[in-house]
Amino acid sequence: MTTEDTSAADATREGMKTVGFSFELQTQVGNARAGILHTPRGDILTPAFMPVGTLGSVKSLAPTDLRAEPIDAKIILGNTYHLYLRPGLDVIEDHGGLHEFMKWERPILTDSGGFQVFSLAQDNRIDDDGVTFQSHIDGSKHRLTPEVSMHIQSVLGSDIAMVFDQCPPAESAPRDHDVAMRRTTAWAKRCAQVERPAGQALFGIVQGGLDVERRLAHLAELVAIGFDGYAIGGLSVGEPPPEMYRVLGGVAHKLPPANPRYLMGVGTPADLYEGVVSGIDMFDCVMPTRNARGGTLFTSEGKVQMRNAKFRRDTGPLDPQCTCYTCTTFSRSYLRHLLKAKELLFSRLATIHNLSYYAQHMRGMRQAILEGREPRPLP
């Protein structure tokens, strides 16, 4: 570890004030890490993939599905922007928070709403204080600032909250990335000053586009503030995968080693592998659930499109190497029938499988690291 890395780690430890939240690094192979993220609601073995529950629900699945093997999700995501607009904070507050609202007792991470404000909202207007935007649902006008974002996440009662950030498109001009970095740093300071519920950790978000030096400069600003964890935002937003991997290779292992490292909104099985060997601990993405509902399933032999006519009379399992309920119970022929007939059961069975695939392979990479081996790419 370099003197620079040690200083960053020391500064970060000083900034970690969340009781019951800590990261334990177990072993490392190259930049790939295996660890345990300790939270008041349970431990999370890393590297880990976090299913996305945008509206308080991982689409088509019940909490019992998510807790069952081999998915056994230790943490899921909720979406600040979407839950604020629907059902609204008053409804969630009536239930005492998001955990009770959706009957999920394990940890939840909530994003800050920053990405959605810029990608979904109509007529958003940004200034140094925050963003004014119109809801994509009904056109109503709203104002989101760092303090408002933290208040929403406080009401949601998430175990990990994210700072409010500005996420510019990858193709933005360098000056636009500089403005976004400046604002994100200023907003991160304001988020850190807001009182949070007991046990709620706060992660900073590194911006800077595809410029590694910008990313590292922004990281230094966030480390000086001090957070419980650090995330890389603003990737997988249209840039070619090799460009994303180049940035990951230059930035991920520079994130403070004493804290969890989170790559936001990524990705494909190949993205997960590249992230892990670059030093990332936590991932989330809608890809496995969204692809499942559309009929694209990930298997040990690669992607399978269940609409394919060759599966019409295929009595074999979807993936012989998978131990999920779908693969140990139903044939490819039956799954194709459900999809073609537009039966709702298909979404559930397909989503169970895709999340199982991700979970099993993340555990495989973790086991390889624990055994001193470099992880293997996923099919």
178 Cα distance to chain centroid: 24
Cα–Cα distances in angstroms (integers) from residue 27 to residues 33, 75, 249, 250, 266, in the given order: 6, 22, 19, 21, 23
Q: Is 127 a catalytic residue?
A: no
Is the separation of the CB atoms in 49 and 364 below 8 Å? no
Q: Is 123 a catalytic residue?
A: no
- Helices 269-278 and 241-251: crossing angle, nearest 10°? 20
The one catalytic residue among 65, 111, 178, 271: 111
The one catalytic residue among 159, 178, 228, 284: 284
State the catalytic residues.
111, 284
